[in-house]
Amino acid sequence: MIRSLLETDAQLSLRLRVAEKPGWLRRLAIFLAHSGDSWFWGLGLLAVWIFGNAEWKYKALLFVFAIAVCAVVVQGLKWAVRRERPEGEWGQLYRKADPHSFPSGHAARALMLSVLGIIAGPLWLAVMLVAWGPLVALARVAMGVHYVSDILAGAAIGLIFGLLSPALFQIVVPFIPWLL
């Protein structure tokens, strides 16, 4: 049964793959796949924290906190499960730095940020992140660094941490008043 599910997962993932197909769809998938990188979000949120008012500083710290906690959980699961990434040439940085695919950290981060966008607003940010999040997850499959089940598990983790992070962050805030 499990073998059959994994085979179906691999076949579906292969059908969604565009990594080896030149063209605009591949270029879009590359852009989206990279747009979920932690360093990209870290730099962007640092800029928001430096240049933002008190409300935006708070939101930036909430997002950084959520990204960090989610990353620790995802990495723990990846090392526990140790599922190898799909074969492929694209994404050598990801393949070398993190050889495990399950669950997808990018999918977890993207969906978590989508939920936080809804919770923390404003509306324009929520709309952008809700549209962007699932596309990042699909782009990771399209570029051949994840299976569909990896992004589904990552998305579930992201949804959970998106909902829990604001409450968890409230526990941490008293210890970091100088950052607000």
> How many whole angstroms separate alpha carbon 95 and alpha carbon 108?
18
**Where residue 171 falls among pLDDT bands split at 50, 70, 90?**
confident
All domains in the chain, ordered by first residue = 2-179 (1.20.144)
Contact between 71 and 50 under an 8 Å Cβ cutoff? The reply is: no
> How many whole angstroms separate alpha carbon 63 and alpha carbon 169?
9
**pTM score, whole prediction:** 0.88
Collapsing DSSP states into helix, strand and coil, what is residue 116? helix
pLDDT of 18 higher than 90:
no
Question: How far is C-alpha 168 from the chain's CA centre?
Answer: 19
**Where residue 20 falls among pLDDT bands split at 50, 70, 90?**
confident
pLDDT at 89: 80
Collapsing DSSP states into helix, strand and coil, what is residue 20? coil
Q: How confident is the model over 80-95, as pLDDT tens digits?
A: 999 988 887 877 888 8
Q: How confident is the model over 41-73, as pLDDT tens digits?
A: 999 999 999 999 989 999 999 999 999 999 999
